[in-house]
Amino acid sequence: MKRILVTIMVLAFAFVTAACGNGKEASGGSGEVKTVKVGVSSGDTRTWEYIVEIAKKKNLNIELVTFNDYIQPNLALSEGEIDANSFQTVAYFDEFVKDQNLKLEAIGATVIAPMGLYSKKHKSLKSLPDGATIAVPNEATNFGRALLLLQEAGLITLKDEFNGSGSLEIIKDNPKKLKIKPVAAGNTPRLLDDADASAINNNFAVEAGLTLKDALFHESKTAKPYINIIAVKKGDADRPELQKLVDLYQSKEVEAFIKKTFKGNTIPAYVTVDELLNYQDAWTKPATEK
């Protein structure tokens, strides 16, 4: 009888051990599987969907939470409903966090969707005549972004007090006497038939069938205020699973995916967090000084 009991106990132990072993394999071979919720825009999520798949091999389960506006993702992050978000430029982030008094911080850079200067009438910046008409978005932030683009292109210089918000009064030097015409952002592609050139946000350019290869000039990752970020609650930056999230986004594998998928309309911009913190330097330094 004792032998039978011993045999049963041995078999039971072996079964439990095997079951535990199978569970370990299912979780990726070793280590605990962590889950993070990441808030993203409901638009194009192809990059994050790709990251979700490769994260599984790293014992990281990413749950994407989509939002239809640019307000809720930061509020949800502040309330702890998500662990991180990735949808906004660092300049927008700083302004929103300040206005809403939120305790959030950037932990990594992702991409820039460059604004470009396009023209149907001219083939290069050099061919833009004196007095050329340049259409730009009229909303303050994008107006400022367009002016910074023109400065980076070497066409104008902005005053030292430029803070990212656009106005004609903030232009310090305009040697070609360009006529800058603010219009609704969605109309900037339509102005290509009338204006000499038009500064067009990436999303409107794509809708109009334009690519960065068509642009006379476009932003690069030196346009730091408009680099997108991964944000978290203050105090969470050192969580290993969130650092892994940044490492995955900034990996060679994801960089190659972005370049292949978006064909230059979205550019990986993996600058350091310290560089992000100094993005305001870009507002008053022409490209030749960077």
- At the second CATH level, the architecture of 34-113+224-289 is 3-Layer(aba) Sandwich (3.40)
Q: What is d(CA 103, CA 233) in angstroms, rounded to the nearest whole number?
A: 6
Q: What is the pLDDT of residue 163?
A: 87
Q: What is the pLDDT of residue 284?
A: 59
Instruction: For CATH 3.40.190.10, list the domain ranges present in the chain.
Output: 34-113+224-289, 116-217
Taking the model in full, what pTM does it have? Answer: 0.75
Q: What is the pLDDT of residue 189?
A: 95
**Position 22 confidence tier, pLDDT thresholds 50, 70, 90:** very low
Q: Is the predicted pLDDT of residue 188 greater than 50, yes or no?
A: yes
The closest of 160, 162, 165 to 143, measured between CA atoms, is 165
The closest of 9, 68, 71, 62 to 33, measured between CA atoms, is 62
Q: What is d(CA 106, CA 233) in angstroms, rounded to the nearest whole number?
A: 9
Q: Is the predicted pLDDT of residue 26 greater than 80, yes or no?
A: no
Q: Assign domain 116-217 to its CATH superfamily.
A: Periplasmic binding protein-like II (3.40.190.10)
Q: What is the pLDDT of residue 172?
A: 96
Q: What is the pLDDT of residue 141?
A: 83
Q: What is the pLDDT of residue 4?
A: 46
Q: What is the pLDDT of residue 277?
A: 82
**Position 275 confidence tier, pLDDT thresholds 50, 70, 90:** confident
20 compared with 127, residue with greater pLDDT: 127
Q: Given its phi and psi angles, is residue 89 left (phi above 0), alpha (psi -120 to 50 degrees) or beta?
A: beta
- pLDDT tens for 216-263 read 999 876 788 899 999 999 999 999 999 999 999 999 999 999 999 998
Give backbone dihedrals phi and psi of 89, rounded to 5 degrees, phi first: -80, 160
Q: Is the predicted pLDDT of residue 125 greater than 70, yes or no?
A: yes
Alpha-carbon Rg of the chain, whole angstroms?
25
CB hemisphere CA count around 239 (13 angstroms) = 17
Q: What is the mean pLDDT of residues 119-127?
A: 96
Q: What is the pLDDT of residue 282?
A: 67
Q: What is the mean pLDDT of residues 19-32?
A: 44
Enclosing H/E stretch for 22: helix 2-26
